[in-house]
Amino acid sequence: MKDIRKIAGINLLVMLAYMVLINVTSTGQERELAVLLLSAFAVGIHVAISVLIAVIFFIQKNPMAKAFLLSAGLVLVIGFSSCLGSVAI
């Protein structure tokens, strides 16, 4: 249980960092579209890496595999929600 909290917390902090970075650095006329596309791409890559790590850990029978899979689900749901929410505001 402690591993799940730690891995999920680290992944959510990383997601927060790149979402803030994308929002701060995006400029121009099509800022909202840039934020939407860059955020969706970043979240997609983050989820893909987490799932890949989970699959590798499942193959190795590492108990942290479930933590990475749960973390990928959290990043997917929270990330795409914040991606769309940042454009709507």
Q: Is 28 exposed, middle or buried (0-12, 13-18, 19+ CB in 10 A)?
A: exposed
pTM: 0.89
Q: Over 90: is that where the pLDDT of 89 sits?
A: no
List the domain boundaries for the chain.
Answer: 2-88
Digit-coded pLDDT (tens) for 28-59: 888 888 889 999 999 999 999 999 999 999 99
Distance of alpha carbon 55 from alpha carbon 22, whole angstroms? 29
Least confident of 3-7, 70-74, 82-86: 82-86
Which pLDDT does position 83 carry in this prediction? 82
Digit-coded pLDDT (tens) for 74-85: 999 999 898 888
